Amino acid sequence: MPQPLAKKVLLIGWDAADWKVAAPLMDQGLMPTLDDLVSHGVMGSLATLRPILSPMLWNSIATGMRADKHGIHGFMEPDTHTGGVRPVTSTSRKVKAIWNILTQKGYKTHVLGWFAGHPAEPVNGISVSDLYPYAQAPLDKPWPLPPGAVYPESLRDTFAELRMHPGEVTEAAILPWIPKAAEIDQEKDKGLASFAKILAENLSIHNAATWILSIQPWDFMAVYYNGIDHFCHGFMHLHPPRMEGIPEDKFEIYKDVVNNAYRFHDMCLRTLLQLAGPEATVILVSDHGFHSDHLRPRGIPNEPAGPAVQHRQFGLIAMRGPNIKGDERIYGATLLDVSPTILTLFGLPVGEDMDGRVLVQAFNEAPEVTRIPSWEQVPGECGMHPADLRMDPAAAQAVLQQFVALGYIQPPNENQQKAVEVAVREAKYNLARVYLDSRRPRQALPLLEEIVKGSDEARFRQHLAQCHYMLGQRAEAKRILEDLIANPPKPPKPPEPAAAEDQTAGAAVVKPPHGQDGRATWHGLPAREGDEDSASPVRTVTEAPARQAQAEIARAASATPWAEWLMGVIHFEEGNTDEALACLLRAEQADPRLPNLHLRIGETYLRRRQVDDAERAFRRALEIDGDSAEAHLGLAQVHLRQRQDQDAAEESLIAVGLQHFLPLGHYSLGVALARLGHPHRATVAFETAVSMLPGLVNGHRWLAALQARPGGDLEKADAHRKLAAELMKRRREQVKAVASAK
Amino acid sequence: MIVIVSGVPRSGTSLAMQMLDAGGLPVLSDGLRAADTDNPRGYYEWERTKGLAQQPNIIAEAEGRAVKVISSLLLALPQGHDYRVILMLRPLDEVLASQTVMLRNRGTGGPPLAPAAMLAALQAHLAQVNAWLRGRLDLAVFRMSFHDLLADPPGQAERMTRFVGLPLDVEAMARQVDASLHHQRSRAVEDRA
């Protein structure tokens, strides 16, 4: 077994934290702890998975597996106990989390607040569930912990005392965040109540974490803070620069909340690091980012988990500790890599069934990575709930239906029934999207076909079309897309006037589990009415004026731009660039923020030799995602066409730096270097390209030419020439075969 | 103290309630669900327990009495009471067969899953209930086999009485089983058919 590379590991989760907000604050000296952490460690973007839904993502972080393996498929699941739904539970997770594996290996292990962490698992340490911090009653009434919120049960009273109630958030705590709090009319504006609730919940988790670090022995601790995500959902539309339609007075009151949320987390981080000590390895991660600039959506789709449209595809990672590089950037990390990396830090093997990889680039010296087929096959007490406490939600639902039909249980009311149907359907839809995201359309197809039979919602048909496209069934995909374009779905029912014109800050707070929104009160304010009846775990109302918000919501929910985009992609692949461009430009007009849209537009312009237009499109793509390797590759190709070889080389280097497995990036680099008179470096780049993509004909041609130069290897030149010829021959045969099949 | 009679539907819960009633323990039942061909001697149900998940505190009304609570609703029992739970156990293939007959008689269609899947779901449900019971240290549980009860009514009535800890009329309790015996045995045969 390899030597452990860490004595202790502290894993800190900041939901939705994003370098786009944190980096400027660090530059201004306003997040000194995070700045210090990355100065003495590594930092990078952490690519998320789709769908970008936090319960699924945090369980992928904890297991190193995609959701189809770990079993957490959304926010809600059927509850046989009530006949309704409940927040997804730890008993639904099918595989071991990192804290279970470490428990099994005898490490003292604590976990706090993790998504889908209720009931608390019996780990070799302390487990505090995600229902722990929620206040279920006003401050003057008892607010007992829900059963199962703390393990071991003997510490229940201790941890109950460590909680903070929203009603305990005083002016002294509020004014540094919201100096103009006194100007708020709390009868109309519930922003302060939302603020107090989020702050109290996160302080409760922080108190529990610092108590453990101060008093208890530990080898591993995972602690999750939802604050940044919740503050952003509630207040990001009031973050500078002021968005169109946001009243100036409202903006002035709440404009600093998001930045202060980051600074608050930085202060919490400082305490955690001090308590953890210098010998601890610290890993800070977020599951996704959050649009904070011109890409902030102005409306939210009126569908379950609709606010996920505010999430950005890159979260953050920072790591510091013995054996970890100092002041370096790492590239290409995904949230699936976190658990395999922690296992390696402890000198433990990585499961071959894990979908992530070890972040070897973060280590001073390449660590020895060992593997076993699966941790699931390793017997022993691992701190999971007993197998008989875990039950497939679909089977549980069948039992409930049977008991209702027999007359032994009250039938669920209409709302509950509807909520159960939605939860089951969304879980299937999310699973289908996991399969699409991991390029397994064959598994997604039956799920999507079943969902579409029961609902004609555009988003389901969109993904069915995408699934057919990925399966090479272009005709079927086009048929669905043509239907969506010709018969655009009706916009969702506009919000009621009162809701649409709601000028409330913080109205978009994620609904806490069990419909218990904490009933947050501050100065006697009631919580928002009606939230607990929503089938969706989140509700959002923007501050944009009603009509504008309505139009934006309709646009955000519209399937047409997306359908046009995919139709454009199909036309492009069929060689019809006129049609492709027409579709893509219509999509751009309707929704210029569609992911990958500008890359496709750029590629189409490149094929049409409209180089300047292509450059503009790739630069637009970079405005949306500055870390897009494909956009930098596109610019490299543009510069090659423009014969600006130095620029082409630089863009190619950025592209392969962001994503090493990018064969066309290495190819472009090779072309630029060859033209710049660096044949040896060009040869290395081309060899890398063809090793990643052996069918890259032009790569072999370039290598043949370079090796044929004086001082080259003529045998290699000959081999590459023959390979290129063979590949071309095969390609012609394939084209002929397709033509005759048609 | 509250005596809870529980189990999956068709596992003998009504018979256990009948016995406790005959033994002299007050039972909480409203008689709203009338006897029928599936339960000719009555269901001994208290309609409001069906809403226990929504209003757990109603269980306080059963203080000093026996009340029937179906297995899935056990999980809704709030803390703060002294519970004695009699959990009826009957082979699940018999239970499922009996439930299927009852569904047919009620005209509510068949089970939502194919027989094998439904059986597996019931097994998983019962395992989940048992795991939950193990974690509730404030509950005393007596697991009573339906077949043992049919085979030895006096012996099982005696055990039930000892568990409840009250001076019940054991002979009267056992007589309820004798009276039911013919019906239950013929039901078991019918269920399996």
Spatial CB neighbours of B157, under 8 Å, sequence gap ≥ 6: B19, B23, B168, B170, B171, B173, B174, B177
Of B50, B112, B122, the CB nearest to A409: B50
Interval A98-103 mean pLDDT: 98
Q: State which residue of chain A sits closest to B52, comparing Cα positions.
A: A82
CA distance A412 to chain B (A): 10
Instruction: Report pLDDT for A490.
Output: 65
**In this complex, is the C-beta atom of A82 within 8 Å of any C-beta atom belonging to chain B?**
yes
Interval A64-89 mean pLDDT: 88
**B33 to A410: CB separation less than 8 angstroms, yes or no:** no
Cα A562–Cα A565–Cα A567 angle in degrees, nearest 5: 110
**In this complex, is the C-beta atom of A144 within 8 Å of any C-beta atom belonging to chain B?**
no
Over residues A626-640, the pLDDT tens digits come to 878 999 999 999 999
CA distance A527 to A539: 14
Chain A residues lying within 8 Å of B108, measured CB to CB = 405-406
Instruction: Report pLDDT for A532.
Output: 27
Quick one: which H or E segment has residue A686?
helix A679-692
Q: Are A267 and A209 in contact (CB under 8 A)?
A: no
Spatial CB neighbours of A247, under 8 Å, sequence gap ≥ 6: A503, A543
Instruction: Report pLDDT for A352.
Output: 97
Instruction: Report pLDDT for B193.
Output: 47
Q: State which residue of chain A sits closest to B10, comparing Cα positions.
A: A406
Interval A247-273 mean pLDDT: 96
**B111 to A402: CB separation less than 8 angstroms, yes or no:** yes
| Max mean pLDDT range (A392-401, A439-448, A525-534, B118-127) | A439-448
Cβ count within 10 A of residue B52: 26
Beta bridge partner(s), residue A221: A10, A110
- Residue B166: pLDDT over 50: yes
CA distance A559 to A491: 10
Q: Best of A385, A400, A408 to disrupt the B interface by mutation (most B CBs within 10 Å)?
A: A408
| Amino acid code (one letter) for B45 | E
Average pLDDT value for chain A: 87
**B122 to A409: CB separation less than 8 angstroms, yes or no:** no
- Which of A91, A193, A109 minimizes the C-alpha distance to A152? A109
Helix (H, G, I), strand (E, B) or coil at B86: strand
Instruction: Report pLDDT for A742.
Output: 64
Instruction: Report pLDDT for A488.
Output: 79
- Pairing mode, if any, of strands A41-47 and A333-334? parallel
SS (H, E, C) B166-191: CCCCHHHHHHHHHHHHHHHHHHHHHH
**B131 to A408: CB separation less than 8 angstroms, yes or no:** no
Rounded to two decimals, what is the model's pTM? 0.79
Q: Are A341 and A298 in contact (CB under 8 A)?
A: no
Over residues A488-529, the pLDDT tens digits come to 776 555 444 333 333 445 544 333 333 333 222 222 222 222
- Residue A740: pLDDT over 50: yes
**In this complex, is the C-beta atom of B106 within 8 Å of any C-beta atom belonging to chain A?**
yes
CA distance B79 to B64: 16
Of B72, B75, B130, the CB nearest to A403: B72
Residue with tokens 């009415």: A529
Helix (H, G, I), strand (E, B) or coil at B6: strand
Phi-psi region of A506 (alpha: psi -120 to 50; beta: other; left: phi over 0): left
Q: Are A409 and B50 in contact (CB under 8 A)?
A: yes
CA distance B113 to chain A (A): 7
Instruction: Report pLDDT for B183.
Output: 55
Cβ count within 10 A of residue B138: 10
Instruction: Report pLDDT for A406.
Output: 78
- Residue A545: pLDDT over 60: no
* CA distances to A211, A664, A703 from A688, in Å: 51, 10, 11
Of A385, A386, A395, the CB nearest to B120: A395
pLDDT band for position B168 (50/70/90)?
very high
Of B76, B79, B121, the CB nearest to A399: B121
- Residue A244: pLDDT over 50: yes
Of A386, A396, A403, the CB nearest to B9: A403
Over residues A593-602, the pLDDT tens digits come to 777 899 999 9
Of A395, A407, A409, the CB nearest to B72: A409
The torsion defined by the Cα of A213, A219, A224 and A227, in degrees rounded to 10, comes to 40
CA distance A389 to chain B (A): 5
| Number of residues written out for chain B | 193
Spans of all domains in chain B: 2-183
**A388 to B124: CB separation less than 8 angstroms, yes or no:** yes
In total, the C-beta contacts within 8 angstroms joining chain A to chain B are: 85
**In this complex, is the C-beta atom of B111 within 8 Å of any C-beta atom belonging to chain A?**
yes
CA distance A484 to A465: 10
Beta bridge partner(s), residue A315: A46
Share of chain A above pLDDT 70, in %: 90
Of A391, A400, A403, the CB nearest to B128: A391
Instruction: Report pLDDT for B181.
Output: 54
| Residue A605 phi, psi (nearest 5) | -60, -40
Instruction: Report pLDDT for A514.
Output: 35
Chain B residues lying within 8 Å of A83, measured CB to CB = 53
DSSP A512: P
Instruction: Report pLDDT for A150.
Output: 95
Over residues A11-63, the pLDDT tens digits come to 999 999 999 999 999 999 999 999 999 999 999 999 899 999 999 999 999 99
Looking at the domain covering B2-183, what would its CATH class be?
alpha beta
* The two three-digit tokens of residue B138, written as one number: 């404030």
Instruction: Report pLDDT for A509.
Output: 38
- Residue B47: pLDDT over 60: yes
Of A391, A402, A405, the CB nearest to B124: A391
CA distance B4 to B49: 11
Chain A residues lying within 8 Å of B99, measured CB to CB = 402, 406
- Residue A228: pLDDT over 70: yes
Which residues 355-414 in chain A show a CB within 8 A of chain B?
Answer: 385-386, 388-389, 391-392, 395-396, 398-403, 405-410
- Residue A299: pLDDT over 90: no
Over residues A351-362, the pLDDT tens digits come to 999 999 999 999
Q: State which residue of chain B sits closest to A386, comparing Cα positions.
A: B131
Interval A533-552 mean pLDDT: 35
pLDDT band for position B102 (50/70/90)?
confident
Q: Best of B69, B72, B126 to disrupt the A interface by mutation (most A CBs within 10 Å)?
A: B72
Q: State which residue of chain A sits closest to B75, comparing Cα positions.
A: A81
Residue with tokens 């012609």: A732
CA distance B38 to chain A (A): 11
